[in-house]
Amino acid sequence: MKALVYQGPGQKDWVEKAKPGIEKPTDVIVKVTKTTICGTDLHILKGDVPAVIEGRVLGHEGVGIVEEVGGAVRNFKPGDAVLISCVTSCGACANCKRQLYAHCADGGWILGHLIDGTQAEYVRIPHGDNSLYPIAEGADEEALVMLSDIMPTGFEIGVLAGRVKPGDTIAIVGAGPIGMATLLTSQFYSPGRVIMIDMDANRLEVAKQFGATDVIQVGQEDSVARVMELTAGAGVDVAIEAVGVPATFDVCQKIVSAGGNIANVGVHGTSVELHIEDLWIKNINISMGLVNTNTTPMLMKTLQSGKVDPAKLVTHRFGLHDIMNAYEVFGNAAREKAMKVILSA
């Protein structure tokens, strides 16, 4: 089969690789029909995730058709259409028992990280019964790909961990795919004001279409000063970091209100400076983490009901074999006006 393989920092290639097979009775082999590229994949290519070794197939999102199942798999059979979760969970360990699937003793975020991932013609999914979701006939597969990772990540790590409440003023720093997913799912809780902050004017225009009440373009105005102006000097109830660089986390520290919450969603490859000398007196909470995907079933229901439409995050489409060009587009998102790309087999 063909697969997108990490060859070391800054290096990747679309190469021939052995098709995966069943290794454990709980495994499922999935023929990938649609996948995408994540900002985390770009972090890996920058060398920010040293656990990813040369030769690893990247990717942790997608939908597909079950090709083969291990002897212990009960919920799926060959021919079933499935959503692949970015997090693998055994369902039986202590962490899985408390829905902390990100820290499953025999799983977590391993696809495209510690084992070969979904940017390939086939992928092996460990603990398939707990790591795949059945897709209803006629479902929008492009929308479902967004439920592999970015929608539950934005919702769980941004909205829920940030304790967004009705009427809150929230700021999302970063209008990329994760920021937009956070914007979409924050509206489940009817915040009174949603401020989106980014350098890219095009993305800010899209954010307004998705429900942002205010936008601030970094470089054109002082984002911290503008937030304080919009909030009469109080700051925001929830500041959500959705980029993964020190500068954006620093903005969140400066704009959070007394009694507020900072929710860090971005993947950080370097340390940040925590201004505890300013924050200790403000009675704030800081949260961060890796998505557990325990909200994926609920998000699938909201998709089916039409309450949320993550498919509108898709801006570019490619054939799976054109993945090198897709990376070029996604890696130059501002120039290409790209949000999410879909790769179809």
Q: Are residues 166 and 240 in the same domain?
A: yes
* pLDDT of res. 101: 98
CA distance 113 to 87: 11
Q: Are residues 12 and 107 in the same domain?
A: yes
pLDDT in tens, 19-62: 999 999 999 999 999 999 999 999 899 988 999 999 999 999 99
Backbone angle region of 259, left / alpha / beta, with phi > 0 → left and psi within -120 to 50 → alpha: left
Q: Are residues 241 and 307 in the same domain?
A: no
Last residue of a domain, one of 257, 288, 319: 288
Domain count, the chain: 2
Residues of the domain holding 71: 2-149+292-344
Q: Are residues 129 and 175 in the same domain?
A: no
Cβ neighbours around 42 below 10 Å, total:
16
Confidence of residue 302 (pLDDT cuts 50, 70, 90): very high
Q: Are residues 48 and 100 in the same domain?
A: yes
Whether the pLDDT of residue 306 is over 90: the answer is no
Q: Are residues 283 and 313 in the same domain?
A: no
Percentage, residues of the chain above pLDDT 70: 100
pLDDT in tens, 233-243: 999 999 999 99
- The angle that helices 201-210 and 177-186 make with each other, rounded to 10 degrees, is 20
* pLDDT of res. 119: 98
CATH number at residue 254: 3.40.50.720
* pLDDT of res. 66: 98
Q: Are residues 322 and 227 in the same domain?
A: no
* pLDDT of res. 307: 87
Q: Are residues 189 and 284 in the same domain?
A: yes
Q: Are residues 211 and 319 in the same domain?
A: no
In whole angstroms, how far apart are CA 26 and each of 43, 91, 142, 297? 30, 12, 27, 21
Whether the pLDDT of residue 278 is over 90: the answer is yes
- Per-residue pLDDT, averaged over 284-311, amounts to 94
- Three-state SS string over the chain comes to CEEEEECCCCCEEEEECCCCCCCCCCCEEEEEEEECCCHHHHHHHCCCCCCCCCCCECCCCEEEEEEEECCCCCCCCCCCEEEECCCECCCCCHHHHCCCHHHCCCCECCECCCECCCCECEEEECCHHHHEEECCCCCCHHHHHCCCCHHHHHHHHHHHCCCCCCCCEEEEECCCHHHHHHHHHHHHHCCCEEEEEECCHHHHHHHHHHCCCEEEEECCECHHHHHHHHCCCCCEEEEEECCCCHHHHHHHHHHEEEEEEEEECCCCCCCCCCCHHHHHHHCCEEEECCCCCCCHHHHHHHHHHCCCCHHHHEEEEEEHHHHHHHHHHHHCHHHHCCCEEEEEC
Q: Are residues 6 and 142 in the same domain?
A: yes
Last residue of a domain, one of 288, 316, 331: 288
> Whole-number mean pLDDT of the chain?
97
CATH number at residue 31: 3.90.180.10
Last residue of a domain, one of 240, 261, 288: 288
125, β-bridge pairs = 28
Whether the pLDDT of residue 269 is over 90: the answer is no
Q: Are residues 135 and 50 in the same domain?
A: yes
Instruction: Report the b/e string of 170-206 with b at 16+ CB within 10 A.
Output: bbbbbbbbbbbbbbbbbebbebebbbbbbebebbbeb
* pLDDT of res. 29: 98
pLDDT in tens, 53-80: 999 999 999 999 999 999 999 999 999 9
* pLDDT of res. 103: 98
Q: Are residues 36 and 118 in the same domain?
A: yes
- Per-residue pLDDT, averaged over 292-309, amounts to 93
pLDDT in tens, 79-135: 999 999 999 999 999 999 999 999 999 999 999 999 999 999 999 999 999 999 999
pTM attached to this predicted model:
0.95
